[in-house]
Amino acid sequence: MKRLEHTISRLNELSDGILSELEKDAPSLETIREGMNQREEHLKVLSIIQNNKKEMDLSEQEVKTLRPLFDAFVAMNEEIQQRISALLNNQLEKLAVATKQRKVQESYGISKTPNISYF
């Protein structure tokens, strides 16, 4: 029980750190990647615990203790997915704008009559 509780608590701490990084104006992708890698290691431990029938025999009280931790993990995981998706969409929009600007600049530099249809 203690190992399971510790693993889930650690997953929640790592998830919270990732969410904090994603809240920043300029989140560090390296920090997010490191957090995700550490989470993956703890998920492997969780899988090992799950496969160990002796460790998974939990009393009703232990289940009540662990349920909020699991629920928090699921909620944070969904929030991480949403924020990463939003971050990706934002970056794709910036890339599209930069591509349009580059095409306009190339057109303007080559032609005596610039094509401004990209705007």
Amino acid of residue 47? S
7 burial class (0-12, 13-18, 19+ CB within 10 angstroms)? buried
Give pLDDT tens digits for 16-56.
Answer: 999 999 999 889 999 999 999 999 999 999 999 888 877 67
| Identity at 82, one-letter amino acid code | Q
Share of the chain above pLDDT 70, in %: 89
Residue 91, domain member (yes or no): yes
Range of the domain at 56: 2-110
> pTM of the prediction?
0.76
Q: How far apart, in whole angstroms, are the C-alpha atoms of residue 66 and residue 50?
A: 13
For residue 117, being part of any structural domain is answered with: no
Q: Does residue 116 lie in a domain region?
A: no
Write out pLDDT tens, residues 107-116: 766 666 666 6
Domain count across the chain: 1
